[in-house]
Every structure is written in C-alpha cells, then in structure tokens.
Amino acid sequence: MDIFGELQEVIKKDIYVSNFDFGSYEIEEKDIEFIKSSEQKLRKSFMTISNSLYDICTMLNQVSLKFKNSGDFMKWYQANGLNKDNISEFNKRFILFNEFKEKKDLISSLSNQSVKLLTHKDVTYSTRENIIKENITKAETIKQLLRSKKDQGIIEFNDKPKTHVNLKKFEKMKTNLTKVKNSEELKDIKSEIGAIEKYLKEINQIVKNKEDELDKKNNLTLL
C-alpha cells in the first residue's frame, strides 16, 4: 500500500459511524447529531478505560516479577492500598488479556464474576476460547454454558465450596444443652466448648500463616 492508501485507511478509522438505526425512530436531526457525538465520546472514553485496565494488569504482572526473588510482592501491593482479592482479580483478567490479545476491549468489559468463571481451574483454554470468540460477556450466560460443558462431561466445573467438617458432634452438643438438668452438666459442656474454641483459634492462626505463605508464592508471577 502506498503512502496515500495508508493515509486513507487512517482517515477511515477516525470517521465514526453509529450502529443505531436513527431512521426507524422519530428523532430530530439536531438530537441525532448530539447523540452521535455522545456515542463517539463514550466510545473514546471506554477505549481509555479499556487501555487503563490492560495497563494496570500488565504493570502489576511486571512488578510482581521484580519481587520474584525477594518474595515481598504482597508487602508492596499492601503498601499501595491493594489486597490479595484485588490482586487475584487483576491476575485472572491478566490471564485473559494474555491469552486473547486481540480481544482487549471485550476482556476489559467483563465483570469480575465473568472473569472468575472463565479462569476457573477446571475450565480449559478451548472452552474459554469458544466463549470469548462468540463475544459472550454476561456472567449468567457463561455460567450456563459451563454447566452445559459439565453435563457433557467435558469439564468438572463446581462453584460450591467443599466442606470436610463433621457437624454431628456439634449437633449432639446442642441437643444435650436442651436436656441439661443441673449446673454441673452445664459446666462440663461449657468446658468442652472452651476447649473447642481454643483449638479453632489455633487452627485459624495456622490457616492465616498458610494464606500468607501461599499469597507470597502464588502472587509473585500473577499466574
């Protein structure tokens, strides 16, 4: 393409054409011009937001790599007002940005729930690709498609948290409380509850320590 052909292509890109069929509605010409102008401004604003979100995800990924050896990425992002949930959301969106570079605007428009669904550990790349190619953005539609894949045995998608706690002992304790006849029995139950609370407190601390450890490890490369 010669220099004049390239210039024409640039000019075409700068000419905004509305997708709305104004001719099918009773709208005054002056209002049409205002609406078209507003559409163009909205489009530019969204593109700015889209680019900003892409830049944020990319920069966080790059910064995390700088902290790879020291393991202090978590301390850095906390000092900048971010938490692990923020980082996780940007991390998941970065995965999609990285996988589908030509769909930057679409990925920017996805809700956090849609991003979370698409990047679920049981969702394969090919499944994500099919959804992204169809320009599907609504979380509910994505969830339905993933459930369909699950029914077909293609993926094992499960958004319900698993629990390994046996609650029978606690149910029995509640029943026993209704049958207490004297203060000694109540005292024994309170003592047992105190022991359980102490044990749970120790477990919570272990969980917190493990979260901090995994946070440092998993967020280093924003994968």
Residue 173 and residue 185: Cα distance in Å, rounded?
12
Q: Which of 20-24, 141-145, 218-222 has the lowest mean pLDDT?
A: 218-222
The pLDDT value given to residue 100: 95
- Per the model's pLDDT, the better-predicted residue between 159 and 93 turns out to be 93
Share of the chain above pLDDT 70, in %: 80
Mean pLDDT of 77-84: 92
The tens digit of pLDDT for each residue in 149-161 reads 766 655 555 444 4
DSSP assignment of the chain: --HHHHHHHHHHHHS----S-GGGS---HHHHHHHHHHHHHHHHHHHHHHHHHHHHHHHHHHHHHHTTTT--HHHHHHHTT--HHHHHHHHHHHHHHHH-GGGHHHHHHS-HHHHHHHT-TTS-HHHHHHHHHTT---HHHHHHHHHHHHHTTS-----SPP-----HHHHHHHHHHHT--SHHHHHHHHHHHHHHHHHHHHHHHHHHHHHHHHHHHHTTTT-
Mean pLDDT of 180-201: 83
Q: Is 2 exposed, middle or buried (0-12, 13-18, 19+ CB in 10 A)?
A: exposed
pLDDT band at 80 (very low <50, low <70, confident <90, very high): very high
Share of the chain above pLDDT 90, in %: 42
Mean pLDDT of 164-179: 73
- Per the model's pLDDT, the better-predicted residue between 215 and 20 turns out to be 20
C-beta atoms surrounding 84 within 10 Å: 17
